[in-house]
Structure 1
Amino acid sequence: MVDNQIATLGITAADRVSLLASFGFDAAIPDLYPALLTGAAVVPVDVRAHGVAHAARELARHEVTVYHSTPTVVEDYCARNGQTFEWTEEGLRTRHVRPSFVDEPHTGATVWFNQANLFHVSSLGEEVSEVLLELYPEADLPRNAYFADGSPIPVADLDKIREVYDEVSYAFPWQDGDIMVINNMLMAHGREPFTGKRRILVAMTG
């Protein structure tokens, strides 16, 4: 079982593996032993003592790369975060309905604040989209975006949104010592392809 877990998940010494079960419980075997045999780090989290929200923060803080838990933990997380879920033959399918527009609290401005244009399969480009749709039924794509009622979003609509992003985007030449501070509700951010080395330092506030 352990060898199969290592091979299936491709666990290596560079990974950080979650451990949500007690060390003395047999459910810990698929997490603990693959890490011990490959040199991966184990990130134990006591869900029963601290809850799912704490577990989510710890997994993010330790940059866990291999996550494994019982279905009840996943289901509890979905329920707490307003997500619906279903277990299929291929695994877990989740849905999360989010608003298209929100009011920015400091200015009161109503702003477009979602990533439907990025989450939709068409954002990957025609060639990649076609390959994915050959490999998976549309409902089983790794991620996708729909209208709140589950109906498909026309690609032409998403193309128009991307066109508007391009029209209002602003680029400038960076200089040594430059610092960017943005209100991410009023201003999106991104980058164009480039060559050369880069070092990324990011600070985020609530």
Structure 2
Amino acid sequence: MGTVENPVKTLTDLDEVQCNAVKTLLEETGAVHFRGFNVLTIDEFEEVAEALLGDLAAYKGGDAPRKAERGLVYNASGPDRTRAVRAHNELSYAPWHPGTLLFGCSIVAAEGGATTVFDGSRVYSILPPAVCDDFTERGITYIQHLPHAAGDPSGIKSWPETFETEDRDQVIEHCQEQYTSAKWTPIGLLTTNRTPGTIEVGADQRPAWFNQAHIWRKDPATVPDVTDMDRWESWIGYGATFGDGTEIPEEHMRQVAEALAACEVPVQWEAGDLLLVDNRAAMHGRKPYSGERQVFVAFA
């Protein structure tokens, strides 16, 4: 086979058969890894993202300190390279979450830095039925109290950073319409959002784990009375309970951590690679790394 003159163009000009093949692979597996297309610049990534995803979406309401590199293309390397990013479905705690993500690597880390992928249906299948039943039947309530200004000692993003505007009226109107509850407090914006803990995915409607309670849940030993919403008015930070407001057992979280570890698949990057992820069917994370690493992400 001869060398393709412009391999990036191959991805931006997929025909109907090729698009359907990608869609089928994504639906069946939750993630598709593209290699050999040399998508190296932000211009190329943006072009391919728009071709594969369609209209791109903003990271509005997100908790991660993610910045836009340009337009709706964001940096996905993360602020702390020494720590792993734990498994999560993007924006699973918010009223809206993207259906599909596209990652692209232009600079590979000197060491580490793999993006990790977790099949949500496999996670569900190996968890004890009692844990799955609790999360399916009771759901999750995510609690966030966002400070008024950036640079809070807690490290939590401010509400203007989170919602990408300083217009209080616009933010509270959005939150009161979209979240389960929202109110201003003397120290910030306090919201709750009740979501499913599991969902059905794929054409076969298979059950899948879909939450990040293991990241947001607080240890009662360090944050007492996590279920007391009156107390939350004086705390800045994030928390998670069952949807009925009761504490999520520590033993559940231990079993979830074990299931996630068993299902982790690391994607070792090469410069120019892309990773397409069904955000509902698969979770993702990141290994610690050293050296410079540049990974873009777009949402739809």
**TM-score scaled to structure 2, two decimals?**
0.39
> C-alpha offsets along residues 93-148 of structure 1, whole Å, 9 cap, x if unaligned?
211100111122544222111111122234xxx9xx83x77xxx962241100011
Given that residues 198 and 207 in structure 2 are in contact (C-alpha distance below 8 angstroms), is that contact kept between their aligned partners in structure 1? yes
Task: Specify which of 69, 89, 95 is matched with residue 192 of structure 2.
Answer: 95
Letter in 2 for 1:189: H
Q: CA deviation at 1:80?
A: 1.9
1:178 matched to 2:273? The reply is yes
Quote the sequence identity (%): 24
Q: Which has the higher contact order (CA 8 A, sep 6+)?
A: 2
Runs of 4+ in 1 over 6 A off after TM superposition: none
**What is the rounded CA distance, in whole Å, between the counterparts of 2:211 and 2:277 in structure 1?**
17
Looking at structure 2, the residues matched to 91 and 106 of structure 1 have their Cα atoms a distance apart, in angstroms, of 42
Residue 68 (str. 1) matches residue 166 (str. 2): yes
TM-score by length of 1: 0.55
The whole-number CA distance in structure 1 between the counterparts of 2:197 and 2:275 is 26
Which residue in 2 is equivalent to 1:112? 209
Letter paired with 2:247: P
Query: Counterparts in 2 of 1:1-206, with a 5 A limit?
Result: 65=161, 67-70=165-168, 72-122=169-219, 130=222, 139=232, 140-205=235-300
Equivalent-residue separation in structure 1 for 2:281 and 2:252 (angstroms): 22
Residue 191 (structure 1) shift: 1.1
Residue identity opposite 2:196 in structure 1: P
Amino acid at match of 1:148: G
Superposed CA RMSD in Å reads 3.3
**Paired residue type of 2:197:** S
1:67 Cα deviation from its structure 2 partner: 4.3
C-alpha separation in 1, matches of 2:171 and 2:299 = 26
Once residues 91 and 174 of structure 1 are traced to their aligned partners in structure 2, the CA distance between those partners, rounded to angstroms, is 39
Letter in 2 for 1:69: D
Hey, what's the Cα distance between the residues in 1 that align with 2:259 and 2:283?
A: 12
3-state SS of paired residue (1:73): helix
Query: Structure 2 regions of 5+ residues with no counterpart?
Result: 1-57, 62-67, 75-159, 225-229
Structure 1 spans left out of the alignment, 5+ residues: 1-53
Which structure's residues are more often strand, by fraction?
A: 2
Could you report, residue by residue, the CA deviation over 1:184-205 in whole angstroms, capped at 9, with x for unpaired residues?
2222111111111101122333
Residue in 1 aligned with 2:22?
none
Which of the two has higher C-alpha Rg?
1
Question: Which AA in structure 1 matches 2:237?
Answer: P
